[in-house]
Copies of this chain bind each other. A is one copy, B any other.
Amino acid sequence: MLCVNVELNDRRYPIYIGENTLTNPELYPLNAGQKVMIVSNPTIAQYYLETLTHTLEKIGCVVEHVLLPDGEQHKNLDSLNLIFTALLKGNHGRDTTLIALGGGVIGDVAGYAAASYQRGIPFIQIPTTLLAQVDSSVGGKTAVNHELGKNMIGAFYQPIAVIIDTQTLHTLPKREVNAGLAEVIKYGAILDLPFFNWLEEHIDKLVTLQTDALQYCIARCCQIKADIVARDETEKGDRALLNLGHTFGHAIEAHLGYGNWLHGEAVSVGMMMAAVFSEKLGHLAPQDVARIEKLLARANLPTVSPDGMQPEEYLPYMMRDKKVIAGKLRLVLLKQLGQAYVAKDADRDLVLNAIRCCTQTH
A residues sitting closer than 8 Å to B (CB atoms) are 77, 80-81, 84-85, 88-89, 93, 115-120, 141, 143, 146, 148-149, 152-156, 234-235, 322
Query: With A77-B81, A81-B77, A93-B322 in contact, do A156 and B119 touch (Cβ < 8 Å)?
Result: yes
- Which residue of chain B has the shortest Cβ distance to A115 in the bound complex? B155
Among A117, A141, A153, the one with the most B-chain Cβ atoms within 10 Å of its Cβ is: A153
Q: In the complex, which of the residues B77, B118, B143, B152 contacts A152, with contact meaning CB atoms closer than 8 Å?
A: B118
Q: How far is the CA of A322 from the CA of B152 in the complex (A)?
A: 32
Query: In the complex, how many angstroms separate the beta carbon of A97 from the nearest chain B beta carbon?
Result: 17
Query: In the complex, how many angstroms separate the beta carbon of A231 from the nearest chain B beta carbon?
Result: 17
B117 x A152 contact (CB < 8 A): yes
Q: List 28 A–B pairs whose Cβ atoms lie within 8 Å, in order of A's numbering.
A: A77-B80, A77-B81, A81-B146, A84-B146, A84-B152, A84-B153, A85-B146, A85-B148, A88-B146, A88-B148, A88-B152, A89-B148, A93-B322, A116-B116, A116-B153, A116-B154, A116-B155, A117-B152, A117-B153, A118-B154, A119-B141, A119-B154, A119-B234, A119-B235, A120-B155, A120-B156, A120-B234, A155-B155
Please give 9 more A-B residue pairs, beta carbons under 8 A apart, in addition to A119-B156, A119-B235, A155-B155: A77-B77, A77-B80, A84-B153, A88-B148, A93-B322, A116-B154, A116-B155, A117-B153, A120-B156
- Which residue of chain B has the shortest Cβ distance to A9 in the bound complex? B10
Q: How far is the CA of A119 from the CA of B151 in the complex (A)?
A: 9
- Which residue of chain B has the shortest Cβ distance to A320 in the bound complex? B91
Name A's interface SS. Answer: mixed
B88 x A149 contact (CB < 8 A): yes
- Which residue of chain B has the shortest Cβ distance to A149 in the bound complex? B88
Query: With A93-B322, A322-B93 in contact, do A155 and B119 touch (Cβ < 8 Å)?
Result: yes
Query: In the complex, how many angstroms separate the beta carbon of A76 from the nearest chain B beta carbon?
Result: 10
Q: How far is the CA of A89 from the CA of B152 in the complex (A)?
A: 12
Q: How far is the CA of A323 from the CA of B266 in the complex (A)?
A: 51
Query: In the complex, how many angstroms separate the beta carbon of A92 from the nearest chain B beta carbon?
Result: 10
Q: What residues of chain B lie closer than 8 Å to A155, measured between beta carbons?
A: 115-116, 119-120, 155
Q: How far is the CA of A148 from the CA of B153 in the complex (A)?
A: 23
Query: In the complex, how many angstroms separate the beta carbon of A91 from the nearest chain B beta carbon?
Result: 9
Query: In the complex, how many angstroms separate the beta carbon of A143 from the nearest chain B beta carbon?
Result: 7
Query: In the complex, how many angstroms separate the beta carbon of A240 from the nearest chain B beta carbon?
Result: 14
- Which residue of chain B has the shortest Cβ distance to A83 in the bound complex? B153
Q: What residues of chain B lie closer than 8 Å to A84, measured between beta carbons?
A: 146, 152-153
Query: In the complex, how many angstroms separate the beta carbon of A32 from the nearest chain B beta carbon?
Result: 16
Q: What residues of chain B lie closer than 8 Å to A85, measured between beta carbons?
A: 146, 148
- Which residue of chain B has the shortest Cβ distance to A142 in the bound complex? B119
Q: What residues of chain B lie closer than 8 Å to A119, measured between beta carbons?
A: 141, 143, 154-156, 234-235
- Which residue of chain B has the shortest Cβ distance to A144 in the bound complex? B116
Q: What residues of chain B lie closer than 8 Å to A152, measured between beta carbons?
A: 84, 88, 117-118
